[in-house]
Amino acid sequence: MDLALRVAEIMLRSGSSAAGVESATIAVGVAAGLDDLDVDLTMQSMHLQCRTPSGQTISRLRVVRQPRLDFARLAMVHALVDDLVSGDIDLEQADSQLREISRAPRMWSRWFVTLAEGGVAGGVALLLGASLPGVLVAAAAACVTILLSGLVDRLSLPDFYLGALGGATATLIAFFAYVLGTYGIIPISPADFAFIVAGGIVALLPSRTLISAMEDVLSGFPVTGTARLFAVMLHTFGLIVGVASGLGLCLQAGGLLGIELTPPPLDKLAWASGPLPMVIIGAVVIGLTGAITLQDSRRMLLPASLLCVSGVAVAVGLSSLGIGRVTSTGLAAAVIGFLARYIALRMDAPALTISVPASFGLYPGLGIFIGLYHMSSPGTVADGANSTAGLFNVLGAFGVIMAIATGNTLGDRLAAPFDAPVAQRRRATVEQEGDRRAEDGWDIV
């Protein structure tokens, strides 16, 4: 029971969905001979309870107060559970290996992860068609923003304020670069300004926990999923408030300096408006650096990059056929979710270790920026049509974000019949335990 509890703790701390934690915990319990094991999970805690043959009830509770995404560690625990279920290791070996996993250092250093965050922003800017100076500024702005957020995080501020600070910082850095561009110091155009901010938005979005949150909601964990989803949306609202505030300051400063920021057209919402080679390179960079920000293992970098390219290609292809942005995004995310599960389980890792970074290329950073721009600009505020259209762009961006999360979950479910044999055995073990409890009048929480 202690082994099952430690497995649940590490998985929950490392960023697994509640469904994945419950499945692994029950599989460990059944392998250990705990026939009557109940699992109750929340966003930050796990409660295990079992009955002994003599009728005695034993309970264990563990609280996870500071989760830290670590997909490499999550994959190691996933592989350990599969080995235990398949009989390749016994309980003593599993306990020893789990202790080694919990003590293992993180795959990537904090400084390398910060650079990878810049890589995500730069990749998004490249995907959208930014110039080389624009790509470099986007990467630098994201790195500075992440470092500043890390310093402010020591004040234990809520995520809303951290998101607002990050959004405002990224926007102001982009504007400073644009001002330098107007004086001929660096070649930054108004389009580059938009792409730089869009890259910062994608890098700062709490997309890393969004897919897990939506999977919880759709998999029978409404309390845990809703709590996670609310935390994600609160951070996102903070980011939007920060970007909007930064844009307001930029527009005021531009008026004082005699610098005009040309509003991007409302219909310029393509995922990939750059040349094809730059689009491919940008998608590869996003997938690779996105996996590093999630502390993914090195062997997951290539699959994440290739799936990111595939997802962007599907989304662009469907859009060119006249399919709506939300629908095409959801279908592209479903393709990513399907392939991620098929590939990841054959690499002894959960699907989200690939699907989450591969989805970064679909997030609507430019759509959020354009909508906020038209809502914040004094000229468009007076024009009710443009201001309203900007609001609808922001709301549409939220629809795209939800489509990514639900599409990933759908693709994951559709790929279940094609699981590797060991994953099928684990799922069958959990299902048999659930059926047995249903016959006995017990329910798995």
Could you read off the pLDDT of 136-172 as tens digits, one per residue?
999 999 999 999 988 887 888 888 898 899 999 999 9
Q: Please give the structure tokens belonging to residue 148.
A: 């500043």
Residues 6+ apart with CB under 8 A from 307: 287, 336, 339, 340, 343, 354, 355, 358
Q: Which of 440 and 346 is assigned the larger pLDDT? A: 346
Give the confidence band of 272 by pLDDT, cuts at 50, 70, 90: low
Placement of tokens 């910060």 in the chain:
114
User: Is it the case that residue 30 has pLDDT exceeding 70?
Assistant: yes
User: Is it the case that residue 307 has pLDDT exceeding 60?
Assistant: yes
Mean confidence (pLDDT) of the chain: 84
The span from the CA of 90 to the CA of 28, in Å, is 11
β-sheet bridge partners, residue 51: 57
Q: Please give the structure tokens belonging to residue 440.
A: 């006995």
Lowest-confidence pick of 5-14, 78-87, 380-389, 433-442: 433-442
User: Is it the case that residue 429 has pLDDT exceeding 60?
Assistant: no
Q: CB neighbours (10 Å) of residue 402?
A: 17
Q: Which of 390 and 367 is assigned the larger pLDDT? A: 367
Q: In residues, how long is the chain?
A: 445
- Would you state the pLDDT for residue 416? 85
- What's the order of all strands across the beta sheet hosting 45-51? 37-41, 45-51, 57-63
- Would you state the pLDDT for residue 382? 44
Contacts of 88-91 with C-beta under 8 Å, sequence gap 24+, read 91/3, 91/31, 91/32
**pTM, rounded to two decimals:** 0.87
The span from the CA of 241 to the CA of 255, in Å, is 21
The span from the CA of 386 to the CA of 289, in Å, is 36
- In the chain, the percentage of residues whose pLDDT exceeds 70 is 88
Q: Please give the structure tokens belonging to residue 327.
A: 């629908």
- Would you state the pLDDT for residue 445? 37
Q: What average pLDDT does this structure show over 278-300?
A: 93
Q: Which of 220 and 364 is assigned the larger pLDDT? A: 364
Q: Which of 390 and 59 is assigned the larger pLDDT? A: 59
Give the confidence band of 426 by pLDDT, cuts at 50, 70, 90: low
Nearest by Cα to 261 from 379, 114, 136: 379
